[in-house]
Amino acid sequence: MKFSKRAEKISPFYVMEVAKAAQQLAQEVAHGPEPMIFLNIGEPDYTAPAQVQAAAQESIASGRTQYTNALGLEPLRQAISDWYRSRFGIQVPAQRIVVTAGASAALQLACLALINPGDEILMPDPSYPCNRHFVSAAEGVAQLIPTGAAERYQLSAEHVATHWGAQTRGVLLASPSNPTGTSIDPAELRRIHEVVQSKGGITIVDEIYLGLSYDEAFGHSALAISDDIISINSFSKYFNMTGWRLGWMVVPEAMVPVVERLAQNLFICPSTVAQHAALACFSTDSIAEFERRRAEFKARRDYFLPALRELGFGIDVMPDGAFYAWADCTPLCAKLGVQDSWEFAYALMERAHLAITPGRDFGTADTARYVRFSTANSMEQLQEAVRRMQRLFA
């Protein structure tokens, strides 16, 4: 069978190999003294609160399951708009909000609407692997620019100005980032957007972890900077609804009809049941529950990151959001007799039953040195993981 060049350009998720090996080993050690602890999972360990589940059941029981408008239910678009006002103090009109099948569909729609074959999109290295694949599925070219702790693993305005070439169409950033949990300084984002605008380009900011921010200095939406920025968001992370497949994006007014046309044809609409359920996310009770969970995510970060440093991992910048730690494991590789982060992840899995993610998928620049820990696990499990690493590195 012959497949498209487009499909061939999408590289496999190497980390799935590690995750599969961890699952396999987990079954073998499940009843032993040290069952597997999963610190490789990129989704909250919470599920949708009871009132959100009830809203989904009510939507099914009452037969509200037909297709909706391609842009999403009007009350949901309004509820998201209200959330921007109450949580971030910004006015985002509901007409500019497009509800989608997760941030993934929003990213796909944004790339299809804006990228022509051969257009280059600047992105930081490391970054979330699927984002460069959305660019390449639209026949664009993702240009990864190596970043470090000094710029919080994010692009700077200087990077953008220096790397902007004849084919460059724009930037795709994620703030807070996966795998680093670090955000772009708002002042730097403003400067980046100024450079992009001076070139007539586009700024797309994936803000899927914005709800899970722990530092006032960074927890602001890019939408506060300009109505021309395209912001991607989701019910997956802060709202704990990963498998429900619901997200949204905020686009400039002129882009709405273009995205609507694409969404009508490619998706018809996002899941109707998930949309009715998501309406229940914005009640006072639900928001209180999400805020309680956010505080728990922060407490885990505050415990686990210093513990990793104490163990000898290099973490040069404290994550200000999400639930990840991007840790340089090279100081510890020699202790385990391994060469790089790939081997390190396997060693941790086999010798301490800890599943983590090696850096490989997130870029090419420095990723052989880094592993990603996810703190989307209970405090007890994080404490046990630290105990096992203390023993292993002793």
Ligand X SMILES: Cc1ncc(COP(=O)(O)O)c(C=O)c1O
Give me the residues that bind ligand X (CB under 6 A), please: 42, 102-104, 128, 174, 178, 206, 208, 234, 236, 242, 247
- Among residues 250 and 347, whose Cβ is nearest to ligand X? 250
Least gap, CB of 73 to ligand X (angstroms): 18
- Which positions ≥6 away from 91 have C-beta within 8 Å? 84, 85
Distance CA(61)–CA(56), nearest Å, equals 9
Least distance in angstroms from the C-beta of 79 to ligand X: 17
In one-letter notation, the amino acid at residue 10 is: I
Q: How far apart are CA 97 and CA 91, in angstroms?
A: 12
List helix spans (H) across 39-145.
50-61, 74-88, 102-114, 129-137
**CB of 207 or CB of 384, closer to ligand X:** 207
Nearer to ligand X, 59 or 236 (CB): 236
Closer to ligand X by CB, 263 or 307: give it: 263
Specify which residues 120 forms β-bridges with: 141, 168
Query: By the 8 A CB rule, do 174 and 321 touch?
Result: no
Q: Which residue bears the tokens 């728990």?
A: 296
Q: Which is nearer to ligand X, 45 or 340 (CB)?
A: 45
Amino acid symbol at 235: F
Residues 6+ apart with CB under 8 A from 100: 72, 106, 109, 246, 247, 248, 249, 263, 267, 270
CB-wise, 246 or 348, nearer to ligand X? 246
What is the smallest separation between the CB atom of 2 and ligand X, expressed in angstroms? 29
Q: How far is the CB of 325 from ligand X (least distance, A)?
A: 14
Write down the least CB distance from residue 335 to ligand X, Å. 30
CB of 172 to ligand X, least distance (A): 10
Using the minimum distance from each CB to ligand X, give the nearer residue, 114 or 174.
174
Q: How far is the CB of 322 from ligand X (least distance, A)?
A: 8
| DSSP label at residue 99 | E
Closest approach, Cβ 203 to ligand X, in A, equals: 16
The phi, psi pair for 277, rounded to 5°, reads: -65, -45
Between 104 and 375, CB nearer to ligand X: 104
ω into 44 cis (within 30 of 0): no
Distance CA 304, CA 27 (A): 26
What is the C-alpha end-to-end distance of the chain, expressed in Å?
53
Q: Alpha-carbon distance 160 to 194, whole Å?
A: 10
Residue nearest to ligand X (CB): 102
